[in-house]
Amino acid sequence: MSQALYRKWRPGRWDEIIGQQHIVQTIHNAVSAGREGHAYLFAGPRGTGKTSLARILAKAVNCKNEDIGNRPCDECDHCRSVSAGTFLDLIEIDAASNTSVEDVRNLRDKINFSPNQGRYKVYIIDEVHMLSTAAFNALLKTLEEPPPHAIFILATTEVHKIPLTVLSRCQRHEFRRIPVNDIVGLLKKISQEEGMEPEEEALQLVARQATGGMRDAISLLDQLSATGKKISLETAQTILGTATNQAVLDLVDAILTGDAGGGLNKLHTTLDNGSDPRQFSRQIVNYLRKVMLVRLGNADQVDTTAETRQVMAKHANGFESSEILRIIRVFNHAAVDARGSWQPSLPLELAFVEAIEAPVQLSSNPAKKAPQAVSKPASEPVKQAVNKAVKEQENSPEASVEVQESSQMTREQWAGLLEVVKKPSPNTRGLLNSCKTNTLRNGVLLLGFPSQLLKEKMEQPEHLSVVKDAAEKIFEMPIQIECAIVASGQGALPPQVDNSGMVATGVRLGGEIVDVNNLKTKDKDSE
Ligand SMILES: Nc1ncnc2c1ncn2[C@@H]1O[C@H](COP(=O)(O)OP(=O)(O)O)[C@@H](O)[C@H]1O
Ligand SMILES: [Mg+2]
Ligand SMILES: [Zn+2]
């Protein structure tokens, strides 16, 4: 494993600390004039640069560079050894794990020895608010009369827990949350040097999400970079879980317009990127609750952005109140449904299908495109087909696709493939779970995925080769793997089945069409 990105990017010099100019300036000036203090208190939220600045200060007062204004040089052996964490005269203590009075006494005993290598012994006491009262008192004695060769830097995220007696002995500096634009600026620089290609909006999102903490921002970027070189806003949204907002809006949109295929795609992309299905269901319920409030004329009780408010208004006008209530109930059910242990997304998928089943449209809104096949009440055979489809999915964890067409893999073959893949690569197995169609033709196994993201994931060589090996084992012949996106208009549906209808939905959920001809005739009859 490579080093965490935020460690690699720890500022080494004064000007590399961003967003804390007021503090950096003050301390830098004092050090340059040889007027460094003996006790500092750095207070502020986590990941804003307290430890980083403390180490820069430790470097500066021990740097061997002749030019005092140029310390720390970050090049001499003292500077380097501070960066490497091997400098003997920099002692870092985590108060969270050394809270006792003995620990502090220990420290006091050692403090009277002169520095080993440098001019100053620098003590950084992190999370200093965790010290016990006795330990604070012991520390206080040291702070009252620090030996001339010692510098104390206390750091804390909870300055209100520090006794006044200690506060009054220290030069106090308050670290601020770092403004979004400054965070974005540094993230850009880091991504450039690390060879990442994030979209500007993705970085904006990361920066907002980090709420002023640079460490969190870099860690989030680190996390996103695992998905690949290019980082789109959409990827960032899904992975950071804020997707929810957009994904929830899209899903409700899909219900409103009767777009089953689009809605299911959205759902799968969101889940495949790590959102928890129950959590996602809860977010849908929360959103619809707000839509309800808006519809009932209580928009002022809804706390949201202007953008979301617009969409919310559209949704509030698009559904009848009773319809919103019905959909809330359906998703609320999915939010508490524990059935999906082997197939955690199932309750959510079912809820979506149920929600989209018969949206009651407001007649006062004629401009809206009428939903296609799903708008009319489903005929009995269609209902049966879907019920069966859903049952199949519930009962057979391994059945990802089963449509009776000679070129599709049989259920046994598919199950076998999943089994063979699982051993060398559980991740590949997981990816195959979201595979919607498989077609074997002339030695080419075509896998259909609901989104570009998943398709691209599967196309990574490490996944492809595992599937290829497994398929060749099962079919006992050379096989080439190809991946495709199964858009709502495609998929392995017989031509007479409406793409956006309930049968199509059932099939996409992994269902099986039992009797195509009967279905067709009856469907026509009911028109
Ligand atoms: N002000 C800052 N400027 C640049 N990078 C920062 C800043 N604050 C934090 N970081 C980044 O976050 C990491 C952790 O910061 P650190 O100084 O340990 O935060 P704190 O001690 O306030 O929790 C650093 O290695 C660096 O990558
Ligand atoms: Mg720290
Ligand atoms: Zn130096």
Counting the structural domains of the chain, the total is: 4
The CATH number for 287's domain is 1.20.272.10
CA 324 to chain centre: 29
Same domain, 342 and 261: yes
Domain CATH number, residue 449: 3.30.300.180
Q: Which of 104-113, 202-211, 459-468 has the highest mean pLDDT?
A: 459-468
- In the three-class reduction of DSSP (H, G, I as helix; E, B as strand; rest coil), residue 153 is classed as strand
d(CA 481, CA 439): 10
Ligand 1: residue whose CA is nearest its atom 4: 17
Domain hosting residue 117, numbered range: 5-174
The encoded tokens of residue 62 equal: 């021990």
Segment 142-164 shows an average pLDDT of 92
- What CATH number is associated with residue 208? 1.10.8.60
Note the ligand closest to the C-alpha atom of 49: 1
One domain for residues 9 and 95: yes
Cβ–Cβ < 8 Å for 81, 87: yes
Residue with tokens 């779970």: 433
Q: Based on the domain organization, do 11 and 132 belong to the same domain?
A: yes
Sort residue 127 into left (φ over 0), alpha (ψ -120 to 50) or beta.
left
Q: What is the CA radius of gyration of the chain?
A: 31
Element (H, E) at 485: strand 480-485
Residue 109 and residue 138: Cα distance in Å, rounded?
A: 11
Cα 469 to ligand 2 centre (Å): 48
Domain assignment present for 305? yes
212/183 Cα distance (integer angstroms): 8
**Neighbour-count burial of 297, counting CB atoms closer than 10 A to its CB (0-12 exposed, 13-18 middle, 19+ buried):** exposed
Instruction: Say whether pLDDT at 196 is over 90.
Output: yes
Position 511 in a domain: no
Residues with CB under 6 A from ligand 1: 6-7, 9-11, 17-20, 46-52, 155, 178, 186, 214-215, 218
Amino acid identity at 12: G
Do 143 and 184 belong together in one domain? no
Length of the chain: 527
Beta bridge partners of 174: 43
Residue 220 domain flag: yes
pLDDT in tens, 329-354: 999 988 877 555 567 788 898 899 99
Q: pLDDT category, 514, cuts 50, 70, 90?
A: very low
Residues 11 and 112 reside in one and the same domain? yes
> Of 92-96, 199-203, 211-215, 361-365, which one has max mean pLDDT?
199-203
Segment (H or E) for 353: helix 346-356
Confidence of residue 505 (pLDDT cuts 50, 70, 90): low
Residues 192 and 310 in one domain: no
Ligand 1 atom at shortest distance from the alpha carbon of 126? 21
pLDDT of 164 higher than 60: yes
* Substitution candidate for ligand 1 out of 10, 52, 157 with most atoms within 8 A of CB: 52
- DSSP, res 333: H
Q: Nearest CA to 483 among 504, 510, 507, 464?
A: 464
Whether residue 140 sits in one domain with residue 42: yes
Tell whether the model's pLDDT for residue 123 goes beyond 70: yes
Question: Which residues are CB-neighbours of 442 under 8 A, at least 6 positions away?
Answer: none
Residue 482's SS3 state is strand
What distance in angstroms lies between residue 13's CA and the mean position of ligand 3's atoms? 10
**CATH (domain of 41):** 3.40.50.300
> In angstroms, rounded to a whole number, what is the distance separating the alpha carbons of residues 316 and 294?
6
- Residues 260, 362, single domain; the answer is yes
What is the arithmetic mean of pLDDT over 308-319?
A: 89
Residue 458 falls inside a structural domain? yes
CA 447 to chain centre: 27
**CA dist list (Å): 353 to 49, 340, 511, 527:** 49, 16, 13, 21
Contact between residue 466 and residue 424 where contact means Cβ atoms under 8 Å apart: yes
- Distance of alpha carbon 402 from alpha carbon 508, whole angstroms: 10
Structure tokens, 472: 């060749």
Cα(232) to ligand 1 centroid in Å equals 25
pLDDT greater than 80 at residue 188: yes
pTM of the model: 0.54
pLDDT at residue 382 is higher than 70 = no
| 437-472: pLDDT as tens digits | 888 877 888 888 877 778 888 898 889 999 999 998
More confident residue, 399 or 39: 39
96, pLDDT greater than 60: yes
Q: Clarify whether residues 26 and 154 are in a common domain.
A: yes
Ligand 2 centroid distance, CA of 42 (Å): 10
**Chain mean position to CA 482:** 29
pLDDT of residue 377: 38
C-alpha–C-alpha distance, residues 73 and 95, integer Å: 30
Cα–Cα distance for residue pair 277/264, rounded to 1 Å: 13
C-alpha 110 to ligand 1 mean position (Å):
29
Same domain, 123 and 213: no
In this structure, are 266 and 325 located in the same domain?
A: yes
How does the average pLDDT of the chain come out, rounded? 80
Q: How far apart are CA 174 and CA 41, in angstroms?
A: 8
Show contacts of 341-344: CB within 8 Å, 24+ apart: 342/397, 343/393, 343/394, 343/397, 344/276, 344/277, 344/278
As a whole number of Å, the end-to-end CA separation of the chain is 61
Nearest CA to ligand 1 atom 16: 49
pLDDT digits (tens, 9 = 90+) for 237-277: 777 755 446 788 999 999 998 898 999 998 988 777 666 78
508 part of a folded domain: no
Bond from prior residue into 72 cis (ω within 30 degrees of 0): yes
Residue 515 placed within a domain: no
Shortest-distance atom of ligand 1 to CA 9: 27
Question: Using an 8 Å Cβ cutoff, are 117 and 89 in contact?
Answer: yes
- Are 225 and 364 part of one and the same domain? no
- 54 Cα nearest atom in ligand 1: 17
- Structure-token pair, residue 9: 């990017």
**pLDDT, mean of residues 105-134:** 87
- Residue 54 domain-assigned (yes or no): yes
Interhelix angle 50-62/21-32, nearest 10 degrees: 10
Q: Is residue 382 part of a domain?
A: no
Chosen domain end from 451, 468, 485: 485
Q: How far is the CA of 175 from the centre of ligand 2 (A)?
A: 12
| Most confident by average pLDDT, 30-34, 299-303, 377-381 | 30-34
